[in-house]
A and B are shown apart, each in its own frame.
Chain A
Amino acid sequence: MDRLTIMIADDHPLFRVGLKYALEAQGFAVAAEAGNGLEAVAQCRAIRPQVALLDIKMPMLDGIEACRLIRAELPEVIVVMLTTFEEPAIIAAARQAGAVGFLSKETEPSELARIIRTIAAAPSRYWLPEVTIPQLTTREQQVLALLAQGLANKAIARQLDLSTETVKDYLNGIYRKLEVSDRLQALNRARELGLV
Chain B
Amino acid sequence: MAGARPNQLRSLRVQVALVVALLSFLPNAVLAVIMVGFWRELQVPLQLWLALAVWLLAAVAVSGGMGYLLSRQLLAPLTRLAEQIESLQRSTRNPRPGLPLLLTDPVEIAAFKQTFNQLLAQVNLEQARRNSFMATLMHDLKTPLIAANHLLAAIRDNDRLSRQERVMLVGQLLEENRRLTELVQKLVDAHKYERDGVTLNREPCDLGALVRGLAERVQPLAAERGVVIEVRGSASATVDARELERALANLLTNALRYARSRVGLELYAGLIRLADDGPGLPAPLLELAQPFNAQPVEIAGQRYTAGTGGLGLYIARRIIEAHGGRLVTEASSERGTVLLIYLGQGA
Q: Is the C-beta of B73 less than 8 angstroms from some C-beta in chain A?
A: no
**Chain B residues with CB under 8 A of A106:** 142, 146
Contact B150 A22 (CB under 8 A): yes
What is the bound-complex CA distance between A19 and B214, given in angstroms? 35
A105-B146, A151-B87 known; A62-B297 Cβ under 8 A? yes
Q: Does A173 contact B (CB under 8 A)?
A: no
Instruction: Choose, from B102-110, B152-160, B243-251, the stretch at the interface.
Output: B152-160
Contact pattern, A 141-162, Cβ under 8 Å of B = 1, otherwise 0: 0000001111110010000000
Is B189 an interface residue, CB under 8 A from the partner? no
CA distance A89 to B92 in the complex (A): 18
A93 touches B150 (CB 8 A): no
| Residue A109 lies at the interface, judged by CB distance under 8 Å to chain B | yes
B150 to chain A, nearest CB (A): 3
Stretch at the interface among B195-203, B299-307, B339-347: B299-307
Q: Taking the complex as formed, is B75 at the interface, i.e. its CB lies under 8 A from any CB of chain A?
A: no
- B302–A194 CB distance below 8 A: yes
Contact across chains for A57 and B150 when beta carbons are under 8 A apart: no
Q: Which residue of B lies closest to A13 (CB)?
A: B172
Cβ A12 vs Cβ B143 within 8 A: yes
Encode A38-74 as 1/0 by CB contact (under 8 A) with B.
Answer: 0000000000000000001100001010000000000
C-alpha spacing A152/B89, complex, angstroms:
11
Query: A188 an interface residue at 8 Å Cβ cutoff?
Result: yes
Chain B, range 114-170, C-beta contacts under 8 Å to A = 138-139, 142-144, 146-151, 153-154, 157-158, 169
Nearest Cβ on chain B to A164's Cβ, whole angstroms:
15
Task: Kindly supply a per-residue 1/0 record for chain A positions 69-99, scoring 1 wherever the CB is within 8 Å of any chain B CB and 0 otherwise.
Answer: 0000000000000001101011011100000
**Once bound together, how far apart are the Cα atoms of A21 and B301, in whole Å?**
34
Distance between A33 CB and nearest chain B CB, rounded to angstroms: 13
Task: Decide if B184 is an interface residue (CB 8 Å cutoff).
Answer: no
The residue in A14, A64, A85 that gathers the most chain B C-beta atoms within 10 A of its C-beta is A14
Q: Which of these, A14, A17, A90, A148, contacts B92 with CB under 8 Å?
A: A148
Once the chains are docked, how many angstroms separate the CA of A10 from the CA of B150? 15
Question: Which of chain A's residues has its CB closest to B300's CB?
Answer: A93
Contacts of B151 in A (CB 8 A): 14, 17-18, 21
Q: Are B172 and A14 in contact (CB under 8 A)?
A: yes
- Nearest B residue to A16 via CB reads B147
Name the residue of chain B whose CB is nearest to the CB of A107.
Answer: B146
Asked if A14 contacts B299 (CB within 8 A), the reply is no
Which residue of the partner chain, among B149, B306, B307, contacts A18 with CB atoms under 8 Å? B149
Complex formed: what's the CA distance from A191 to B169 in Å?
42
8 smallest beta-carbon distances between A and B, as pairs: A150-B91, A93-B300, A18-B150, A18-B147, A21-B154, A15-B147, A22-B150, A187-B92
Q: Which residues of A contact B (CB under 8 A)?
A: 10, 12, 14-15, 17-19, 21-22, 25, 56-57, 62, 64, 84-85, 87, 89-90, 92-94, 105-106, 109, 147-152, 155, 183-184, 187-188, 191, 194, 196
